[in-house]
Structure 1
Amino acid sequence: MSQPGHDTHQHEAAHDHGHHAHGTPHPATRSMALSATLHCLTGCAIGEIAGLMIGTALGLGTGWTIALAVGLAFLAGYTLSTLPLLRAGLGVGTALGVVLAADTLSIATMELVDNTVMALVPGAMDAGLVNPVFWLAMTLALGVAFLAAYPVNLALLRRGKGHALTHEHHTSTAAVTGARRFIPALSTSTLVAAIAAFMLAGFLVSLYDSLGEPPATHAAGPVGTPLHPGGR
């Protein structure tokens, strides 16, 4: 004969098991995956462009420039994900731990695909920042990287991982007080718009520069004047 308390405990355990089996604490949706992928894309774009600009300015080789760009992409991506958690009240160590678990696979996927596409586009790796080829190739690379990272984020969210780990902190309604008030609250849409505007401006400047170059001229005198004074 079973004891009433034991039956109650079994019922509660079964209820808890059913809750975890049939539901997840952070439901994965396509909109969440889209937002997570765009969020990672902005960090990757900031790091990639900054790394290429610095590498070009310092005259670094292609390999070192790519390494710098990838490193800055991870740094920018982690930073953009950490700031909202700090604003929500998490400590630095806790926030970094959550972000490393949530974003690493997504950023790594983007960086792998992005740099592969850049390497495959003829002339993209050798094009300078004032070359339209660079900006067109970068736009293509980021677009393909987005398409590659989206299913990765969606799969992680369905398992309660990835950006699901940070979702509850992003939706916190707790009042922001103290020094946390000075941490900027940057929405994903704002970041995407800023990156798009920057890349468009870079493309237009490079296009203007390439079209504005004067045609190559030969060392010839005025019309009708021989090239060499003694020529006939």
Structure 2
Amino acid sequence: MGEEIMDHTAHHAGTAHDHGTHEGHVRHDHHGHGGHGGTSWAMAAKATLHCLTGCAIGEILGMVVGTALSWGNVPTMILAIALAFVFGYSFTLLAVRRAGLDLKTALKVALAADTVSIAVMELVDNAIIAITPGAMDAHLSEGLFWYALLGGFAVAFLITTPVNKWMIGRGKGHAVVHAYH
């Protein structure tokens, strides 16, 4: 799916790169070997940090709003996860829109690029918060609230980076966005 979107959107975005070179790049990324030895950890970490930034903004905003309004744990987590996806997708969406993609195509690219990364990150981060004793009932003014949240982000980064490396090496995930940078 990612390669099809890249080929289709690169053609319609009016990008200046050579289509033949682009296809060779996709084959290189898809097979995960070649002159650069496959996908680098630095590239995977950068993709994960990009994703983490959007997720963190959305999740912190959701946790702060839910906690400040004295919502229960479940509605607060639902809001936080929903906002993590919204902000996570928004960063990619804005970047590819700036590259000239129409909204429909940009949405497809953002979904293909970020869905797995955000899902893994949210699963791990929220699991850490849920298993940290007292974190679900902590208030904004308590260190436990922030330690659990930030600790969850750190663990999520460590787990999501290898996932992104594997996906990028196969031409999926954030590899879909590279055609527009």
Q: Are 1:29 and 2:40 counterparts? A: yes
User: How much has 1:51 moved relative to structure 2?
Assistant: 0.3
The 5-angstrom pairing of residues 71-220 of structure 1 reads: 71-170=82-181
Displacement of 1:58 in angstroms is 2.2
**How far apart, CA to CA, are the structure 2 residues paired with 1:134 and 1:157?**
33
Determine the C-alpha separation between the residues in 2 that align with 1:107 and 1:21.
23
Instruction: Specify the SS of the correspondent of 1:48.
Output: helix
Unpaired runs of 5+ in structure 2?
1-23, 33-37
Tell me: CA distance 1:21–1:95, structure 2 relative to 1, closer, same or farther (3 Å).
closer
C-alpha distance in 2, partners of 1:24/1:31?
A: 15
Which residue number corresponds to residue 188 of structure 1?
none
Q: Pick the aligned partner of 2:60 from 49, 63, 67.
A: 49
TM-score (normalizing by structure 2):
0.79
Change (3 A) 1:24 1:139: closer
Give the 3-state SS of the residue equivalent to 1:50 in structure 2. Answer: helix
CA drift of 1:22 comes to 7.1
Greater helix share, structure number: 2
Q: Percent identity?
A: 53
Q: 1:127 to 1:144 in 2, by over 3 A?
A: same
| Structure 1: unaligned runs, 5 residues or longer | 1-18, 171-232
- TM-fit CA distance, 1:28: 2.2
Name the TM-score, length of structure 1 as normaliser. 0.62
C-alpha displacement of 1:21: 10
Q: What count of residue pairs does the alignment treat as equivalent?
A: 152
**Larger RCO, structures 1/2 (Cα 8 Å, 6+ apart):** 2
Q: Contact conserved, 1:124 with 1:134, CA < 8 A, in 2? A: yes
Question: Considering only aligned residues, what root-mean-square deviation do their CA atoms show, in Å?
Answer: 1.9
AA of the residue aligned to 2:55: C
Change in 2 beyond 3 A, CA 1:131/1:93: same
